[in-house]
Structures are given as C-alpha cells and as structure tokens.
Amino acid sequence: KVLNKLLPNSPHFPDQPLNEDSLPYKIGSNITIKEYNEFLERQESSGYKYQRRDNGDVFIIDMSNPEHDLVASLLQRYFNFPNNNVVVDPPIVVGIDGFHFSPSGNGQLIASDVTVYPNPSHVQQPRIPYPGPPPGNRNGWPHARIVCEVGNSQSTKEWNDKCQLWMNQIYIRYVLGIKLHKKRNRKNDLGQYHRSMTARLWQQESGYQEWQFGTLIRKKQTPTTCNAPNLPQYQ
C-alpha cells in the first residue's frame, strides 16, 4: 500500500494472493509504455506474466506453477547440451525472462520464458554498421535467436499472439511455444488428471509445425499418440 501511494501511475497488485481461476486480472489502467517498462524493471513480484494492451490497461495473464517451471527448466537443459558442459563463458547463452524491446517497435519491454542467444565473445561485430547495429536485448547483449513461450493459465490466443509477435523480429530464427491446457476432470489409469498440450514451432520465412501431446487431443476425448519416449513423429 505504501508503494501504491508512492507510485500512483503504476500497476498495483491485489492485497490478496491470486489463483489461476482469477486470471486475467487487471492491475492497472491508462498505463503508459514508460510506466509499464519501469514497473517491469522494478520486478516487484516474480512468477507472473503481464500484458499491456493498447488502451493502457495492464493485466496479469499467467502465473508460474510446478508444471510450468518443470517445462521451462527442461527446455533450458536441452538448449545447454551443445555447450558440452562448459559452465563459464559458454558459446551459447540460455537465459530466462530476459527483457527485449517488443518487435512491434513501440519501445515496450517483453520477455519470454527461455531465450537462447550467442555469447558476445563469439559474435563477429559488423564491419559496416549502416543502417544501424543489430538489435540486442535490454542490456545490450546479442538479440535472442530462439525464444520459448510456455503458456499455462493464459488463453491459447494470448499465447499464440505472443509467439507470432516474436517472429516479427528477423533476428529470431525460431519460436517454440508450448501450451499447457486446463486439466480435465477425468483421470487416467495412473490416477493423473488428463491434460491436453500443444507445441508449435515457428521458423522464419515458413509457417509453423504443430504437435498435439499430453494424454488427450485438445477439445476431444481421443488419446494422443504421444505415449512413449523417442517417437519419430514427435522429434
């Protein structure tokens, strides 16, 4: 409450903790891009995903949970494999929640769950900077070449729109999106709730590939064929 008085033109968190059923939850109105960026950089609360809409409204659209964290952690481990266990100054940097300027060009900061970009020590500087140096992240490091968006509570449309927004930046070669759909009411033979999951892989200058995995196909009661490791159709 003290912070709310000190920063009246800033998004504010509710007094009570949120749960996934509360999302999307509005936390600000008429917030400028400058105010929104400052709010993000203060990092008042971790574990939330935010969205600022064109009218200045700001919402919490997603929140971390164990499944989301495990997926993001697994992706980080996979992308670190090419580093061959190099821990200090690896050629490939795998980060989380790294701020970039939005490809929309409005100066707004955005972040993804996982970012993959080259170590500056391994990036050759352009000999001719015209029409300008390649874009970088908020801290001036090389721009991410691969980003991953893991959607949990946010809507499928919000998740898909965020993935497609990243593709407007030509330095990003791939966007991997994974959407964890809401758990079903029915359980499988192991006592686990059925859940549909969608993976989409975007590549520059081409469309996207999609895989339905989890235990049931989205919006259906049909089991998926993703029922064992190392299946060729899911590689």
Tell me: do 138 and 214 sit in the same domain: yes
Number of domains in the chain: 2
Last residue within a domain, chosen from 63, 78, 110: 63
**Dihedral in degrees, nearest 10, Cα atoms 100, 105, 109, 113:** -50
**Residue 47 amino acid letter:** G
Nearest to 60 by CA among 16, 22, 7: 22
Tell me: do 150 and 176 sit in the same domain: yes
Residues paired with residue 199 on neighbouring β-strands, in sequence order: 178, 211
d(CA 197, CA 220): 12
Tell me: do 59 and 72 sit in the same domain: no
Tell me: do 121 and 225 sit in the same domain: yes
Q: Which two tokens stand for residue 16?
A: 């009570």
Q: Say if residue 24 is preceded by a cis peptide, omega within 30 of 0.
A: yes
d(CA 9, CA 11): 7
* Domain range for 26: 1-63
Tell me: do 108 and 34 sit in the same domain: no
Q: pLDDT truncated to tens, each residue of the chain (235 aa)? A: 444 544 556 788 877 888 888 999 999 999 999 999 999 988 767 788 999 999 999 999 998 889 999 999 999 999 999 999 898 989 999 988 888 999 998 999 999 999 999 988 877 766 665 455 667 777 777 889 999 999 999 999 999 999 999 999 988 999 999 999 999 999 888 888 999 999 999 999 888 999 998 889 898 998 888 877 788 877 7
Tell me: do 170 and 112 sit in the same domain: yes
Residues paired with residue 147 on neighbouring β-strands, in sequence order: 115, 175
